[in-house]
Structure 1
Amino acid sequence: MPATAHPASPPRSLAAAGLPPRVRRTLERALSFVSTELDSGLSSLVSEFEQELFRLADQARNPGLESGYMATLRAFRANRADLVPRFLLALEGALATLRTPALPPAPAPLDTGGFGPLSLVEDSVMDEGTVLREIASRQEGRANLSLHLLGQRFGVLAAAPAFDAERLPLGPQCLCRAIATAAHTLEIEHDARLLLYRIFDRVVMQGYARVLERLDAQLGEDGILPALTFVPMRARAEPVETRPHARAAQPATPTPAPRPQAEDAQRPYTGWGAPDTTDDVEDAKAHEAAYARLQALMSGRRELLRKFQPRGDTPLPRRQLATREVSDALRLLQQQPDAGGRNARGLLEIKRSLLAQARQRSGEGASLAPEDEDAFELLGMLYGHIEEEIRADAPAAPLVRELQIPVLRAALQDHSFFTRQRHPARQLLNTVAESAASWHDDTAFDPRVQAALRAAVAHVVGNYESDLSVFAEGNARVQAQLQAQTRTAELQERRHVEAARGREKLVAARGRADELMQTIVGDRRLPRFSRALLDQAWADVLTLTLLRHGESSEETDRQLETTRRIVDASLQAACAADAALQADVESALGHVGYHGEEATVIAQRLTSHRSDEDDAASRTELAMKLKARARLGEEAGAVRREKPPARTPDEQAQYDHLRTLPFGTWIEFTTNQQGDVVRRRMSWYSPMTDHVLFVNQRGQRTGEQSLDAVARLMASGNARVVTADRGHLVDRAWQAAMGALRSFAGRGEARMTEATA
């Protein structure tokens, strides 16, 4: 019978799939590429999940929770070796079924006049499905174009119509299904699987959009629709520019927001907050014209992607929703309490929800107007790039998502949101996103600023209807608190800089004291223990005198004379004890922290001749006390740095560059192998001692390094100077989104040129 033509179970490996040799080789190469790219992330997933379970067990507040976490940890450890192989086998299985016909839909009633039978769904199934769909949806928003192109290429390999995102092998949904399959083999509880999925999203899926881009390029190199590398466009797009006088001079690429000049863009960034934006042109017609050119790009992109869709039945006509209807529906969604899931959904899910609601109301399919569709897509692209640059666990991270509906309504109402850096909604979004940026560490979050951010977002969500001043009011409140934080940070920074300069003066004074003492001692050989006391205890006295009074003062001359008398007394065995000299020495030692019996013993040793063999027990006891004591201006137990090895030419170039940077320059440091970064402000450095003082965004001292160490980090790619063009997070995210469109348009034009040449 024909029904038996399809195997009961689909092939699970490429070897058993019976694919043509070239198709099999291409799929094996694609699987190998993705497996290699995900290998480090999957390894980190295993270790981080285990560490998180241990941490939760350690912090559990009752024995029941602790035993539950430990049981999950034991089950995971027993089966963790299966996680990665099962995941990769699931991916291979998805590729192996590339040419297997999709199973026909279940024989469910297709009567559109009513609902089918309803049943309850297990909470665990619903929760896992929701989490996995959100992960996949977020990645699909970031890699929309790559997924469409990959769908076309895999369609060729399957000898079938193009694959959509749901059925695409190696797509985000495929990976989510694979991790779910692998997770269920671990024999862990539902909550533990949800935790595993969240870590999977953070560790493995974070950069998967770039993996998809490279996979698409690899398939093109393998000869699978190689012409699809370039996207044809019918006409050259004009520049999206907000300055009318600059349009003729700039290349025909969309630049919706003004950019700093090249020399300014590479200027080291030294401000505390985001830099001031360039003044925008306030001509409404200019912004509408700029947005129209941006729409032309989006329209061409949409038409192209529509051609890539599988050919099928003619779609039913849909009623186009008016912008007012969309805005009203968004307003109702905005007014929902947070428990309604308003903040958990992305823009793609919000759009689907709006269209579904419209269908329920009217009974016919609905669609967005092209310009509203553009606003959804552009804002989705912007949010996708913003989420790549913020910490998911930052206090302000949920506020970024909470702003998406008011910001979307503002963008639908006023298209200059996409072309004006100073647009009120855009400025507030940038303020909130900057407060959750990935370069912040835990110490950088000021509770007062976070409270102001929450209040501002709540003000916008609760009050925005169509007045953009609501965004401006909310942003002004936050900026007032940020300015207060900046003043506090500057004050703290100034104190740390003054302390660092004081330590530099101390180092200089100590070096000069050592030189003066060496001049007095000369080539004479003092008893070893007496010389040790002279170099440590008495050197501190000379250092303090130089610091307080200077080298040309009477006090310094007097202490230098005392030093000569100490040296002479240490060398003259027959010399009688000098009580006055001992009293002077004991008094001077008191100023540098030596008191009582300790000061008396040191003074006696310094002002008399004693060989190293005399009174070995008391000498040993005194030596141990001196070893445990911190020198003047040093911390107890401080370890002296060894001389670093010679620098390479690249390290020397970075070292020379560092010495030219102004105080206050921000530097990003890579903190782990995953590429996480943290920003530190180079508040001060000493050309004499090579020490560098770093503070965080709140002016708190985060440690001192040497210029040499920072230069070596920069040469190895683990540190970099933050330039002015990286000041505004939202502007940077927008430029990244526009860069994708410019590349999209540029490649299309190049392809058209080749085709007509």
Structure 2
Amino acid sequence: MCSGTLMSSDSPIDPIGQRWQDPTLLLDALQKIALEKLKPALDATLGRVDDYLFQRSESGQDDFGLNALRDLRRARSQIGQRFEQGLIAGFRALRDPRSAASDIAGNRLALISEDALEEQLANEQLADSLTRMHAPGLELLGKRLAYLTGRESLDGLDNPLNPVYIASLLRRSLEGVELDAGVRIVVFKFFERELATALSQSYERSNTLLVSAGVLPQLRATARAEAPKPPAHVEQGDDGAAQTMSQPPSPADQAVFANLLGLLQGWRSSQGAILGNQGGTGPAQTLSSNELMSILSLMQRDMPTQFEPTKRDSRQSLAEQLRSEVLGGARKLGVKSDNLHLDGLDEDAVDLVALLFDVLLDGPQYDADIRRKIGRMLVPYVKVAVQDRRMFLFKEHPARKLLNTVAEACEGNHGEAPQERELLGHVDSTIDRLVSEFNEDVAIFETLEQELRSYMAQHRKRFELAEKRAAEAQRGRERLEHARSATNALLAQHRGERELPAVMNEFLSGYASHHLIQVMLRDGHGSPRYEEAVQAVDDLLLAFDHAELRTPAAEIPALPRKGFEAILSSSGCLGGAADAAIDSLQDALVRMAGGERAADNTTHLPEQQVAPEPVASTEPEPLLEVVAGTDRLDFDPSGLERMRKLQVGSWIQLATSADRIEPAKVSWVSPISGRLLLVNRRGIRVLVASAEELAAMAKLGKVSLRDGETPFEDAMYQVAGRLQQAANQG
């Protein structure tokens, strides 16, 4: 059986009748099934989307507006026709692979908009969900179609009944149609529901048809059907967290916390920070934990305005202001003493959380509005710390995880794109619910963290796609730079000290260089085409050496015409133009053999029409750029060592302006230059730099490394640093 051709008629495909001896008839029957099931599913989808948009307009929820409804109705016929034609083209490609449409995949590497990324994400989710749902039937059909068409296997885009092909076809059918991006996403969602039934029936009928025709009748499925996965499965993670926190904390975490408490005691001693510090002369009174929790509950319902970042007294730490508010709250509850103290453990909890939020709210990594959002969580977190100090000991603590998730959603998020504003709105509602619903039950932290994390998962997949594109684009740039550098070095080495005539200079620096770069990128260094091109260059230089020695023209080694034509064709120099170029080189050799100096030869080659070099698509230039050579960079050896330890997935803090710090992730490390590609939270490239350049930027205060793996841990390390610094100054 030959690969890529339909099964021959003498193959044992049909034990039951003459009708199915021609595989083309089977494919015709399968095409009919596909059109009968999938085209009505699309029509039903567009009808449901029409109803959906109409109802939203009628109820006043006109996010897309009546214009979207009109656009959809105007385009319905065109969308349906494109979809039907695409299905027919898919089966035509099965009959004759040479007729396959190359653009169905839409996998071209190009810079696309946020809306297009959202649409691509919906497209992939549609294909993935339906593939899992119909895995057994799809597996059987794919293998039988591959057998029928004489192929080893069929990719998703080669099988017109595969969800990958159908999802891509829908996206192609929507191209060029004036529809809002939001409406396109709605179409994908409704189409997924309609296809669930349509594909089930299509696979059942198609497999039954092929089995009856004798196509692999004994085949059994190995894949299992799966229900579509929810955005996040929360129960498993929660059980794991609860089980972890039921065990003693690790010795390392205990040591860190003990050191923090020791520094805290020293800081209190140096600051004289007794609760209230009013110089009371009455008998000392310790505020009980229950009284403290009652005071904090009052503060939670009516958050003091002085805790807002823009209204805080910069002369006092947040811990001092918090203790002052607790004192005022105690008086409201009827506590008359003017010499109040907190219980030792409660005092630790209050001060540690206040210092933690001091770090979070003082840093430039958050905008003022985001600092206000985070600041509203201060009192709930103090209450958690008072009743459960495990928050400082366990990474899995729900309150700790929520703070990390909120910080991740807010870091580097300036609300510049619609998706960023939506995410900040979700953070707002999360914090609103925490402040209004938290009543000493930490379960609310679990619920809110899981909901926010699930919501962010949708954004994260889109950002991962953008990050992947940025890495691919940078990889293409580096390969091109490497190919150019290697080619320039090779030509310089082979040319040596020769002073060539202008026509040969132009050939080597233009045509030959361009050809070698292209061949190196496409075929690789040392490939047959690459070696042939290098040999052609050497043959030209050998002929030049003979001509320079005044060897008779008839005895000069002949130029390899075939090799020269291949080099010239890479730059679009073909036919008569290529002949003229080769003749110009030959003429220069003859004139030199006759005694003419190379410098006196003024012949030039035809103007070069250079074809585009095969590199990844252009990405926006990074916000920051390092252009200095590493030999002049000023950095600390210890800083360089830390930068060299950065791995893919590591996060650093990057100063993008005097008053703004952005988180940046190491997305890719070049195997060629060792440079690191850094992207922001949205997957957009912000910097490409070597470890030495990053170390130099760190010495200038433009780059800093996180001390902890998460925002909570990093803030705790900074708290310890501040306490140590205060102790040293004291």
Q: TM-score, normalized by length of structure 2?
A: 0.47
Q: Higher relative CO (CA 8 A, sep ≥ 6), structure 1 or 2? A: 1
